Chains A and B, each alone.
Chain A
Amino acid sequence: MSRRALYLFAAPALALYGGFFLLPAVQGLRYATTDWDGYSPAFHDVGAANLTAVVSNDDLFRNALTNNLKFLLVVVLGQTALALLLAVLLAARGRGSTWLRALFFLPTVLSSVSVAFIWKFVYDPNFGLANAVLDAAGLDRFESSYLGDESTAILWVAVAQIWFHAGQMMIVYIAGINQIPEELYDAARTDGAGRWQQFRHVTWPMVAPATALVVAYTTLQSFKAFDLILGLAGNPPRSGLDVLATRIYSTFANSQLGYAAAESIVFMAAIAVVTFLQNRAARMAHG
């Protein structure tokens, strides 16, 4: 087969990538320097004014960034820890573990809208499951308005996100754990290592590649948590639940496409910075 024919195979994918990703990305850079509303035939160049405003003079964007970072931190730590714990407990093959793996994986196959609907029911202050359970247990002093509490609302969404995706990450960890040679555990046991020490000195370092994958994927998921938040918080979300993706969408809906494009650029920069820091941290953690 000629080399030219090989390129032809890639052409459809490249055309789609170019048309639906590269071109809009370049257009986005251009729009970010304009005051275009998204529908008028004319617009004005505003230079770097949009980007400057996003970075230095936009409380709503700063609030969304803060919420997003809180959400990211809780989800990455919580989801990674829970997924690893479940994987360690369920890595051994057996009927019970297979059934439990399927059970924990189940939320992953649900749509975000369904998950939002379920957790809306859980968090409703008057008819919801969470307050009903606390009430029944005589712990009504811990009852909350959950999504209505500005300072903690995003953390409650993070709980829903962890429930939604921990099962998926558990499967990644189980695959990683199953790759670890049994001899390493035999050697550790021979040296007198207990279960915790086996985990600390064998499992944890050996699942480093899986951890890197889980953390990277979870980070992206956290930045892109758009439909779950809109499902739980409504559109537009209130300030306690606004994250970068929903903020950009609100700006777009407010007929400020140029400004929304500038917000998107800062959004991409934030993802790049967080990913870079994570890679550095992962390298340091695993020597």
Chain B
Amino acid sequence: MTMSRRNLLGLAAGTGAASLLAACAGPGGESTKPGETGGEISFAHWRAEDKDVFEQIIKDSKLAVRQDISPSNDYQSTALQKLRGGTVGDAFTAFRGAQFLDIAKAGVWTDLTGKPLTQRYEPALITAGAQDGKQLGVPYQLVFNTPLANRDLVTETPKDWDGFLALLDTLKGKGVTPIAWPGGDAANAGQLLNVMVVNNAPTDDALGRIETGEAKVTDDWFLTVLKQYQQLTPYFQKGATGTGSDAALALFAQGKAGLLATGSFQVSGVRKLGAKFPIDLLAPITTTADKARYEGVFNATFILGVNAKSAKQDAALAWLDRLSDPVVAGVYANGTAQHVTVKGVEYTNADLKALAPWLSRKTALAPRFQFSNLDVRGAVENAAVQVVGGKSPEQAAEAAQRVVDQKR
């Protein structure tokens, strides 16, 4: 059979049009009208490391859920725009602080107040998902933004700042890096600031007050924080300000560092690298023992919600309801080595059991998430990194305060 050029062009055009229509139809070509509970829903989140556990929960629940996962920093930057479209994230998650507030302002949360699933959570742990008396989302994870300690190396728990520095000297004497700190990774470098601030700050909302202008980076208490960073500098690994999260994790997992200055959310990552040593949490107490108000820091995050722009809200709510079941929450918790905010969960994971005493210890809600302006947060956190890089605390504080004044 011969084909003329006209026929060939016609065939190409037809194929192109068909391809375009197929592409527009999306994966599976499924269409669901508003209010329908059928069809696959999208669950948007940032925890790629939890993907397998979620897949297992999806399989067991027989719900049609597709995970749309973005790296955490990209999720922080772009999730709101995607969610507003309504095609991604019928059910979704949000970080506590700036992202939660922005999504609330954009009207993307569905009000969960009074829904039965909210009764399954510890009331005190889901306040980060409430605004103006409405329960917009439910924080699912309970993490400790408190340094991890290798208990084979770190045998004592100092009660004050001098004791902490003495411990670091002891670790140095053992030939290991006292603190592995991912100073080159903006998201994780700031975790240490949480524990450095909570006991130094005059009030629990001191970082938030920097953003509102009621406090300054140049205030004495924050200068004390920066000076303590300066004191910690010789105890970090070499090139600390250029070290990424994976490298710091590897140093700790290989037993080359006594402390990992991030948080409990990295325990599973440490285990995946083959670490066998007992893991505990250990925060630097930055004051004298009598003035210390907190032993560490926690955060209730990974705030679950239903997208108000979604056409499949009932199905999304069913998915959240499933995750809120104590048995399912237990599968998630034990599979990911993270505590959850759901009541009555049985922790069988050895690390979660070991860290369980921290659930009742005196810990503060992570202060770095009090910032709602990411530029202000970046400036304040970067001041600490710059001090470790060699800048004087006073200069770093002044530069940060200038940015705060310009951006708040």
Contact = CB atoms under 8 A, between A and B. Distances in A.
A120 B186 contact: no
A146 B247 CA distance: 14
A253 B374 contact: yes
B354 interface: no
B386 interface: yes
A239 interface: yes
Nearest to B389: A150
Interface stretch (B18-26, B266-274, B400-408): B400-408
B382 A126 contact: no
A contact residues, range: 35 or more
A40 B391 CA distance: 40
A142 interface: no
Contacts of B80: 38-39, 255
Q: Which of A38, A145, A149 has the most CB of B within 10 A?
A: A145
A250 B74 contact: no
B73 A236 contact: yes
Contacts of A145: 184, 238-243, 389
Interface residues of B, number: 44
Contacts of B403: 59-60
A104 interface: no
Nearest to A247: B375
A253 B238 CA distance: 32
A243 interface: no
B49 to A, nearest CB: 17
Contacts of A239: 382, 386
Contacts of A58: 406
B405 to A, nearest CB: 9
Given A39-B106, A126-B247, A148 B374 contact: no
Q: Which of A120, A146, A238, A252 has the most CB of B within 10 A?
A: A238
Nearest to A140: B238
B163 interface: no
Interface string B225-244: 00000000000011111111
A126 B373 contact: no
A127 B71 CA distance: 23
B243 A148 contact: yes
A209 interface: no
A146 B242 CA distance: 6
Contact of B242 (A37, A147, A236, A252): A147
A59 B98 CA distance: 22
A145 to B, nearest CB: 3
B176 interface: no
A104 B359 CA distance: 56
B147 interface: no
A118 to B, nearest CB: 14
A191 B40 CA distance: 79
Contact of A39 (B105, B186, B238, B375): B105
Given A147-B184, A253-B374, A124 B238 contact: no
Contact of B389 (A40, A53, A60, A149): A149
Given A125-B242, A126-B237, A39 B84 contact: yes
A155 to B, nearest CB: 13
A40 B57 CA distance: 36
Contacts, number: 121
Interface in A136-165: 143-150, 153
A249 interface: yes
A255 B250 CA distance: 35
B239 A125 contact: yes
Contacts of A153: 242
A127 B238 CA distance: 11
Contacts of B382: 238-239
B12 to A, nearest CB: 14
B374 A59 contact: no
Given A59-B406, A127-B247, A234 B240 contact: no
Q: Which of B71, B183, B184 has the most CB of A within 10 A?
A: B184
A123 interface: yes
Interface string B54-80: 000000000000000001011011101
A152 to B, nearest CB: 10
Given A60-B403, A254-B373, A148 B242 contact: yes
A143 B240 CA distance: 13
Nearest to A257: B81
A127 B243 CA distance: 9
B245 to A, nearest CB: 8
Contacts of A57: 406
B378 interface: yes
A111 to B, nearest CB: 15
A237 interface: yes
A251 B81 CA distance: 14
Contacts of B407: 60
Contact of B239 (A39, A60, A144, A234): A144
B390 to A, nearest CB: 9
Interface in A226-262: 234-239, 249-255
A253 B76 contact: yes
A19 to B, nearest CB: 16
B187 interface: yes
Contact of B399 (A59, A120, A250): A59
A60 B407 CA distance: 9
Given A60-B403, A234-B186, A238-B385, A126 B77 contact: no
Contacts of A249: 77
Contacts of B138: none
Nearest to B378: A236
Q: Which 7 A-B residue pairings sit nearest by Cβ, starting from the closest?
A: A125-B239, A148-B242, A148-B241, A145-B239, A253-B77, A145-B242, A235-B73
Interface of A: 37-40, 53, 57-60, 120, 123-127, 131, 143-150, 153, 234-239, 249-255
13 contacts: A39-B84, A120-B244, A123-B242, A126-B251, A143-B238, A145-B241, A145-B242, A147-B242, A234-B185, A235-B186, A236-B73, A255-B80, A255-B102
Interface of B: 71, 73-74, 76-78, 80-81, 84, 98, 102, 105-106, 183-187, 237-244, 247, 250-251, 373-375, 378-379, 382, 385-386, 389, 391, 399, 402-403, 406-407
Given A37-B102, A235-B186, 4 more contacts: A145-B241, A149-B389, A237-B186, A251-B375
